Structure 1
Amino acid sequence: MPKNDLLSSSSSQNSAHGKQPLIEIKNLVREFAAGESSIRVLHGLNLTLHQGEMVAIIGQSGSGKSTLMNILGCLDKATSGHYRIYGRSVDDMNSEELAQLRREHFGFIFQRYHLLGDINALDNVTVPAVYAGMDNALRKTRAKELLTQLGLGEKLGNRPNQLSGGQQQRVSIARALMNGGDIILADEPTGALDSGSGKEVMAILHRLKDAGHTIIMVTHDPNLAKQAERVIELKDGHIIADYYTQDSTQDSAQNCAHNADSANGANDMDKAKNSTPANHAAPHSHAKSTQPLASSQQNHQRKNAFFGFFDRLKEAFKMSIYAMRAHKMRTLLTMLGIIIGIASVVSVVGLGQGSQAKILEGISALGTNTITVIDGYPFGDPRRRYGYDNLTVADAEAVAAQPYAKSVSPQVDKSVTVRYKNVEASGAVNGVGKDYLSVTGEKLDMGQGFSEQSISTLAQDIIIDQNAYKTFFNGQGNPIGQVLLVGNVPGQVVGVLSAKNSSFGRTSNSPNLYMPYTTVMHRMLGTSHIDRFVVLIDDDTPSDIAEKAISDLILSRHGTDDFNIMNTDSIKATVQSTTNTMTLLISSIAIISLIVGGIGVMNIMLVSVTERTNEIGVRMAVGARQSDILQQFLIEAILVCILGGVLGILGAFAIGEAINRFGGGDFAVIYSPVSIVAAFVCSTLIGVIFGFLPARNAARLDPVEALARN
């Protein structure tokens, strides 16, 4: 129900009838549940209030006066009966429409002030305007003007605990006037004040009445009630008296005549909205200043829906920061589960990717896009016990003749004792073909490789690796041309390989020597069979197709599957699949800690809602929508989780740095941007999911019950 609709409706009805009351209740009943029965607090009240009246509702404790005020202020709803304001029925309004009424037409002054303790006086006053969508600069200006007129111009930055009781009540009055405050509802406005402060507050209320505001004051003090022009007395939920005070008989009579007979009745509310403040102090005024307060109606500049929502979002964000700062230790403990979970997930994923990279690096040592055909029956085949000697050089040459094979290197191995001068060490001699270096991708640090002539002449040439270079030559000098005794066969060093880890990333310290495979076969082993041959596949041929073609070719030559095939691409795929599965499994376990952390967030937010119930009631009283309350607590939960996620990611970086620095090269952590973004999104979702229930509970609180809790 837009404000303009209310105004136009009220104005038109005033024009038509001239007697339209501001507030009208008929047969109003309010009952409260008490076990299986109910207690009736208000008994069929009938009451009419007019614009510009100053009304005191009095009665003993339990008479129902506060309940009546809560219903009049749309903080509570009657059990039955009818309530109309500005000619519109309140009975069927939903929570959003009631919030709009409170926001745009009511101003509340509470006995206990009910100021928000985490923000200063200026921000307390602007809260209703935030929910009303008032322009930021305008609301700041208006709040300063109100506080200055109330004598608090030098206290704008003070928090409630830095103000006296009288000053806090003035801030409460300024807040009530922020959005206009056509109807001021004051619940025991001087009850918590000393006599001097109480007189000042009453003087302010009189000035507001003179400025056109309707004042409805609840009090149990008869002396205070005498200052009103009209007194309504309740007893046991019944109106037992409704009269005008002697001191204001003349004003009251004029007011009654005005409401009953004035030909200008259509302008009652407009006069209140646009009235020019009186230039003299109101009756009974004790204020030192004779300057009246700002008029109830201001030409407020409202933001559009989007910017209004953004403004309320900023307010919720600010209050969330204040709440987190007020309970630093609790916030940190709440984030701890999120921090541990995010750090675990990011670290595990990084460690999994680092391990995968190390393994794949080792596999790459076998050659890029290579297929190795190995002598012997498949693993697990009972025929393996009959031995090997099935693979020949002719098989390797047959494969080399295929279009998908770029090069082929037959290989045989033998463990030997190697001697150089007075140095002797156990090592391995590998018989390889002339294309071994191109097949495996290894590089020479010094010297040269084998040629076709080396293979055909059974040359006693040797290429040594870095381990052999260090073992026999201390890693110094040029070993080219030196002679090593390999078993019983002397050989001349013709090349030195560059440093490289052996397969699968395991560092080998044993000397490795490479000689032509024909030399090893005939001079050292006395065999015509090879152990294996490695095929470098053409880049245009898919690895799996080449593997099948090689398998079919050897099978057709041997007539049986007396060989094994090892495809480096298949191994890589298997390693990647296995490590990804393990990473996912371990990450799933780590996610459990995130869920536990999320439950912790929900638990703490439920506690926070309980602790801040009074604040929620205050915000609802000044016009906050349910969506505003939901938004505030949801943002707080999300902020806790996001901050926990950021700290968790930083913790994961610290863990990874420690592993990379002190892991000795056996372990490495490689961070994935995807995992970091996923962790951040995950922490945000946890805030949304686990913060929603507490936020919803906060939004659904009854304003009256919330205000009653301390």
Structure 2
Amino acid sequence: MVNHPPLISLSGVGKQYGDDARGYVSVLQDINLTINAGEFVALIGPSGSGKSTLMHILGALDRATQGVYRFAGQDISQLSTDQLSQLRRTVFGFVFQRYFLIPGISAQENVELPAVYSGLEKRLRHEHAQTLLEQLSLFDRLAYKPEQLSGGQQQRVSIARALINGGEVLLADEPTGALDSANGESVLALLETLAASGRTVILVTHNPDVANRARRVIELRDGRIVSDTVRAVSSPAVATRTYQPVTERGKTDRYTLLGQAWRTLLFSPLRSALTLLGIAIGIASILVMLGIGEGARQEMSKTLSRLGSTLMTVIPQSIDADMVAGRITDSDIEALKRLPDVDAVVPMLTGQATVRQGAFNLKSSVIATTTEAMSVNNWGLRAGTFIMPLHEYANMSVTVLGSEVAQRIFPAGNVVGRDILLNNIPFTVVGILAEQGGADMNGNLDQAVIVPFGAGRLRVIGRQNIDSVTLKARSLQTVRSVEREVNDLLTARHQRPDFTIINRAAILRSQEESMDIMTAMLGSIAAISLLVGGIGVMNVMLMSVAERTREIGIRLAVGARQQDIQFQFLWEAVILALSGGVVGLLAGCFLAQIVHTFGKPVQLGFFPALFSFFSAIATGLLFGYLPARKAARLDPVMALNQE
């Protein structure tokens, strides 16, 4: 015959509360106790005797501060928090005086909760819970919430919950204390039946009549065992089995916990909606701000792309403190053309002229330039041709009109080949520039007329001094060396730095840096909105932890690991933030359309939307972590006693 160790063995166990500063209070002292598998034991004593504390230690809800507690031969003090949770999940079942059912979920879901944490398959979990409730005459109450059940029905639900994972050891703390006599008798009869089936039942009570239903009565007073009596019964029940360690079925069913997290949020719809709104405002702000920044960047890029990144402009005046005025001559132009890394040199003169055609006349700017101006400056044509080498060589009186000028003096649209007067000098229109959409380094070309360099110099502008020279470097890599060569050449020819070189690549870089700063600033403003929303999530979750402390205690009592509690509360925060993110994305797209209708460039892209979406998730994780961690670290006993 195999000798099994006692199921429960306590040697010199004590429990103290307090610290060195405030002193210690002993609740249990020198408890020596053994309980074998299959026993029906009652712990009796007046209020303050330590019986509930002893039950908490026996059920692995609390740890002794002195002595040794062995369960099935294993020292409980050596077990980790998760290992204690496993014991509560697979071995112990608790029945409390106040039932401790979780509000908001059905009777069946309350019964299934320990099986959720033990990883029992969903179908088997449902079947087992329904079978237990049917055996306890509650099959017609499966979907009822705790608040819809009577006290006796709630206590039977809690007993079913204690049994779903096997309930080898049932710990009942004043199970009849809140019931009338009929329901109390029903619960005691049920406990007797369970004890007769071979389960170990430990009943905590202050009522001698209730205690006498057990086969063994242990009396506590002032934290000590004062008597341990085995009652003689006419037909003593015999344990039908000995304790065998239970193997876990799998991991916690987190999909079920996720569903419970969602329903918890719906349980307080107004608070959830207001918290969600804070996140939505933050996400919408990020999306719109990034969209405005990207829209402005693209508009700026279009403008700057017309400048050309390999171009530079020389103007005959220094921009230092002396503001020395210089003069660029034709011989300077020829010298610049001979520089090895210069691909093109385009001189320009600008002035004003009256443009007339029939009854139409207007004031317009005039640009006198050379054939290469169109290709160098990346101008486009809508109709006709640009200034040809022949036009330039022969100083022919031809012109290319900007799009707005052409529209105003030729509203009918028939333009190429027609004659106009520039300051009363006839010129023939050979082409129309494509719409440029704004000003570049040469002004607003849509409102200008362009003439050959020689003809404009002699017949329209009437002066020799060149206003600017545009140079094109052979490649982006040679821009800086060309700038140095031009500076050295002109300084040597003029004997002083009476000119300024404007490097368009540098302008591009400067503008891009400015746009980056603006986008970062807009993003920072939006991030502050999201931060406020995140703080709102943290505040709500901390309130939720405080309000649901007892629920957390119940979950821990039925076997939830700390990580299970943390997972549930963290996902509640993530669901809030994620829902806010979806609402924020939709609101951001709507607001972007409104901003766009007012003529402001807004560019919503996939990556800003993706960034905003993941920002919502990150907000939930970041601001939900602290409340979730706080919930997971609650002491089970203190949480259960929280009002």
TM-score, length-normalised on structure 2?
A: 0.92
SS in 2 for 1:412: strand
SS in 2 for 1:500: coil
Q: Kindly tell me the number of residue pairs found equivalent between the two proteins.
A: 642
Whole-angstrom CA distance in 2 between matches of 1:195 and 1:409? 108
> Cα offset for 1:404?
4.2
Residue 655 of structure 1, aligned match among 588, 591, 609: 591
Quick one: structure 1 residues 443 and 106, their matched pair in 2 at CA, closer, same or farther if it must change by over 3 Å? same
In the TM superposition, 1:254-333 aligns within 5 A as 271-272=241-242, 302-303=249-250, 308=251, 311-333=252-274
Confirm whether residue 347 of structure 1 aligns to residue 317 of structure 2: no
Residue of structure 2 in register with 1:286 after alignment: none
Deviations 1:592-624 (A, max 9, x none): 333333332222211111111001111111111
Residue 23 of structure 1, aligned match among 4, 8, 11: 8
Residue of structure 2 in register with 1:6 after alignment: none
SS in 2 for 1:481: coil
Confirm whether residue 377 of structure 1 aligns to residue 317 of structure 2: yes
> Cα offset for 1:637?
2.0
Confirm whether residue 607 of structure 1 aligns to residue 543 of structure 2: yes
Whole-angstrom CA distance in 2 between matches of 1:628 and 1:451? 80
Matched-pair contact (CA < 8 Å) for 1:614–1:709: yes
SS in 1 for 2:399: strand
SS in 1 for 2:63: coil
Matched-pair contact (CA < 8 Å) for 1:358–1:505: no
Quick one: structure 1 residues 208 and 235, their matched pair in 2 at CA, closer, same or farther if it must change by over 3 Å? same
Residue 140 of structure 2, aligned match among 150, 154, 158: 154
Identity of aligned residues (%): 38
Whole-angstrom CA distance in 2 between matches of 1:541 and 1:21? 87
Quick one: structure 1 residues 353 and 526, their matched pair in 2 at CA, closer, same or farther if it must change by over 3 Å? same
Residue 53 of structure 1, aligned match among 39, 46, 55: 39
Quick one: structure 1 residues 548 and 51, their matched pair in 2 at CA, closer, same or farther if it must change by over 3 Å? same
Matched-pair contact (CA < 8 Å) for 2:438–2:446: no
Deviations 1:220-261 (A, max 9, x none): 233322322222222333333322345x25517xx6xxxxxx
Residue 611 of structure 2, aligned match among 656, 678, 703: 678
> Cα offset for 1:323?
1.9
Confirm whether residue 628 of structure 1 aligns to residue 564 of structure 2: yes
Deviations 1:187-217 (A, max 9, x none): 1212222333323322321221122101111
SS in 1 for 2:6: coil
> Cα offset for 1:139?
2.5
SS in 1 for 2:628: helix
Deviations 1:298-321 (A, max 9, x none): 9x7723xxxx1xx44324322321
> Cα offset for 1:324?
1.3
Whole-angstrom CA distance in 1 between matches of 2:248 and 2:15? 38
SS in 1 for 2:313: strand
SS in 2 for 1:251: coil
Matched-pair contact (CA < 8 Å) for 1:598–1:690: yes
Residue of structure 2 in register with 1:395 after alignment: 332
Matched-pair contact (CA < 8 Å) for 1:102–1:622: yes
Whole-angstrom CA distance in 1 between matches of 2:569 and 2:49? 36
In the TM superposition, 1:440-455 aligns within 5 A as 440-455=377-392
Residue of structure 2 in register with 1:64 after alignment: 50
Residue of structure 2 in register with 1:470 after alignment: 407
Confirm whether residue 574 of structure 1 aligns to residue 574 of structure 2: no
Whole-angstrom CA distance in 1 between matches of 2:38 and 2:535? 53
Confirm whether residue 183 of structure 1 aligns to residue 183 of structure 2: no
Residue of structure 1 in register with 2:349 after alignment: 412
Whole-angstrom CA distance in 2 between matches of 1:63 and 1:273? 29
Whole-angstrom CA distance in 2 between matches of 1:582 and 1:221? 76
- Paired residue type of 2:621: V
SS in 2 for 1:503: coil
SS in 1 for 2:279: helix
- Paired residue type of 1:133: G
Residue 233 of structure 1, aligned match among 194, 199, 219: 219
Confirm whether residue 193 of structure 1 aligns to residue 194 of structure 2: no
- Paired residue type of 1:706: A
Residue of structure 2 in register with 1:259 after alignment: none
Deviations 1:271-320 (A, max 9, x none): 2459xxxxxxxxxxxxxxxxxxxxxx99x7723xxxx1xx4432432232
Confirm whether residue 690 of structure 1 aligns to residue 623 of structure 2: yes
- Paired residue type of 1:453: L
Deviations 1:116-171 (A, max 9, x none): 22322222222212222333333233222222222223333332223332222222
Matched-pair contact (CA < 8 Å) for 1:211–1:272: no
Whole-angstrom CA distance in 2 between matches of 1:524 and 1:414? 8
Quick one: structure 1 residues 504 and 517, their matched pair in 2 at CA, closer, same or farther if it must change by over 3 Å? closer
Residue 358 of structure 1, aligned match among 292, 296, 299: 299
Which residues of structure 1 form unaligned runs of 5+? 1-13, 256-267, 275-296
Matched-pair contact (CA < 8 Å) for 2:437–2:446: no
> Cα offset for 1:557?
4.0
Whole-angstrom CA distance in 1 between matches of 2:170 and 2:396? 110
Matched-pair contact (CA < 8 Å) for 2:310–2:474: no
> Cα offset for 1:433?
0.9
> What is the Cα-based RMSD across aligned positions, in Å?
2.7
Confirm whether residue 584 of structure 1 aligns to residue 499 of structure 2: no
Of stretches 106-115 and 29-38 in structure 1, the one that deviates more from structure 2 is 29-38
Matched-pair contact (CA < 8 Å) for 1:22–1:86: yes
Deviations 1:622-669 (A, max 9, x none): 11111221222222223222333333333322222211122x2xx211
> Cα offset for 1:409?
2.7
Quick one: structure 1 residues 440 and 631, their matched pair in 2 at CA, closer, same or farther if it must change by over 3 Å? same
Matched-pair contact (CA < 8 Å) for 2:317–2:323: yes
Residue of structure 1 in register with 2:639 after alignment: 706
Residue of structure 1 in register with 2:455 after alignment: 519
Quick one: structure 1 residues 489 and 61, their matched pair in 2 at CA, closer, same or farther if it must change by over 3 Å? same
Residue of structure 1 in register with 2:236 after alignment: 251
Matched-pair contact (CA < 8 Å) for 1:312–1:628: no
SS in 2 for 1:522: helix
Deviations 1:391-432 (A, max 9, x none): 133433444455544444321100122222222221111112
Residue of structure 2 in register with 1:111 after alignment: 97
Whole-angstrom CA distance in 2 between matches of 1:225 and 1:271? 24
Whole-angstrom CA distance in 1 between matches of 2:550 and 2:25? 25
Whole-angstrom CA distance in 2 between matches of 1:442 and 1:146? 84
In the TM superposition, 1:592-603 aligns within 5 A as 592-603=528-539
> Cα offset for 1:510?
7.4
- Paired residue type of 1:171: V
Whole-angstrom CA distance in 2 between matches of 1:378 and 1:636? 66
TM-score, length-normalised on structure 1?
A: 0.84
Quick one: structure 1 residues 480 and 319, their matched pair in 2 at CA, closer, same or farther if it must change by over 3 Å? same
Residue of structure 2 in register with 1:277 after alignment: none
- Paired residue type of 2:15: R
Residue of structure 2 in register with 1:288 after alignment: none
Whole-angstrom CA distance in 2 between matches of 1:540 and 1:602? 52
Residue of structure 2 in register with 1:10 after alignment: none
Matched-pair contact (CA < 8 Å) for 1:356–1:575: no
- Paired residue type of 1:323: T
- Paired residue type of 2:497: D
SS in 2 for 1:181: coil
Whole-angstrom CA distance in 1 between matches of 2:337 and 2:63? 92
SS in 2 for 1:38: strand
- Paired residue type of 1:158: Y
